[in-house]
């Protein structure tokens, strides 16, 4: 277990909400070091899949494997402690708190996974760790080029900068795998280009494996190692961006083209 196994795998995952089949028998694996993207039309099951990985939803059938170990029944906060990080589309930043404090909060999220561990951490040299952690947070702030706003209340920032702070908060947990749910949504071209560069760099320089959902096909095809396409909860293609774009079912389902006879 461990080194040879994919960092993450979904094994025959199905998810139903009453009569709605959000996912049907989806299997795939993500290799360490990849930027792996999930695409597909609205309602295809992308968010459901990511929620199964983060632990927010439990698959009706099938399992989620982390480095070969079955984590289907592991709680969300434990998954974060294992090394699965994410940005939360709906978890807003604390508007009145500074950028720095918002990023530091990410760390406390990790510590809150156990009162006893938290106590031991505190008794066992918390201050030293706190200083080391602050240094890491400063590195992340430098990396994401948000030094100029580190003391600003998060609520005063532009949309693009807020998204960067959210990314910083996820990075502060030092995840091995980072889940990004539509990181470019609502961004202008320049903000998208910046975000794409940060994703590539956090992958290459910080060694984080990336799993993302993104609607912007240009960005997906540009930066992804591999792409999985979902449609009506089923996997219809998986492969390199070129392979996926050339796939007849992708062209018909996703790009609305007629499938040639």
CB of 116 to ligand ATP, least distance (A): 33
In whole angstroms, the minimum distance from the beta carbon of 236 to ligand ATP comes to 13
Would you give the DSSP letter of residue 259? P
Closest contact distance (angstroms) between CB of 179 and ligand ATP is 13
**Which CA distances in Å does 216 have to 108, 176, 181, 184, 221?**
33, 24, 12, 7, 9
Q: Which residue's CB is nearer to ligand ATP, number 14 or number 225?
A: 14
DSSP 187-252: --HHHHHHHHHHHHHHHHTS--EEEEE---HHHHHHH-SEEEEEETTEEEEEE-HHHHHH-HHHHH
Closer residue to ligand ATP, CB minimum distance, 21 or 78: 21
| Residue closer to ligand ATP (CB basis): 67 or 87 | 87
With a CB cutoff of 8 Å and minimum separation 6, the contacts of 231 are 40, 41, 44, 249, 253, 254
Cα gap 98→148, rounded to integer Å? 12
Least distance between ligand ATP and beta carbon 224 (Å): 17
* 57 or 66: CB nearest ligand ATP: 57
Closer to ligand ATP at the Cβ: 44 or 93?
A: 44
Using alpha carbons only, give the angle 107, 111, 112 rounded to the nearest 5 degrees.
115
Spell 15-27 as b/e; 16+ CB within 10 A means b: beeeeebbbbebe
CB of 229 to ligand ATP, least distance (A): 11
How far is Cα 2 from Cα 79, in angstroms, rounded to an integer? 16
How many Cβ atoms are within 10 Å of 224's Cβ, its own excluded?
Answer: 22
Q: How far is 22 from 105, CA to CA, in rounded Å?
A: 33
Footprint of ligand ATP on this chain (CB under 6 A)? 17, 20, 22, 40, 42-48
**In the complex, what is the shortest distance from the CB of residue 230 to ligand ATP, in angstroms, rounded to a whole number?**
6
Nearer to ligand ATP, 22 or 237 (CB): 22
Nearer to ligand ATP, 100 or 228 (CB): 228
Smallest separation, CB 33 to ligand ATP (Å): 25
Beta strands 226-231 and 209-213 are unpaired
């Amino acid at each position: 277990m461990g080194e040879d196994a994919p960092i993450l795998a979904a094994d025959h995952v199905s998810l139903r909400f009453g009569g709605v089949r959000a996912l049907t028998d989806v299997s795939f694996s993500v290799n360490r070091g990849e930027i792996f993207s999930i695409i597909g039309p609205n309602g295809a099951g992308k968010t459901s899949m990511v929620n199964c990985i983060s632990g927010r939803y439990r698959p009706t059938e099938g399992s989620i494997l982390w480095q070969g170990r079955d984590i289907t029944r592991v709680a969300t906060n434990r998954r974060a402690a294992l090394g699965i990080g994410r940005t939360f589309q709906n978890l807003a930043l604390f508007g009145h708190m500074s950028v720095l404090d918002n990023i530091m909060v990410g760390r406390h999220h990790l510590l809150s996974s156990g009162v006893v561990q938290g106590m031991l951490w505190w008794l066992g040299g918390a201050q030293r760790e706190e200083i080391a952690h602050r240094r890491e947070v400063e590195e992340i702030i430098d990396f994401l080029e948000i030094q100029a706003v580190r003391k600003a209340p998060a609520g005063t920032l532009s949309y693009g900068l807020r998204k960067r702070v959210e990314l910083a908060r996820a990075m502060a947990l030092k995840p091995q795998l980072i889940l990004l749910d539509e990181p470019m949504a609502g961004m202008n071209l320049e903000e998208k280009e910046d975000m794409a560069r940060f994703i590539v760099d956090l992958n290459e320089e910080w060694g984080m494996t990336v799993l993302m959902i993104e609607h912007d096909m240009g960005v997906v095809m540009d930066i992804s190692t591999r792409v999985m396409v979902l449609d009506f909860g089923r996997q219809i293609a998986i492969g390199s961006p070129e392979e996926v774009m050339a796939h007849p079912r992708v062209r018909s389902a996703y790009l609305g083209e007629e499938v040639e006879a």
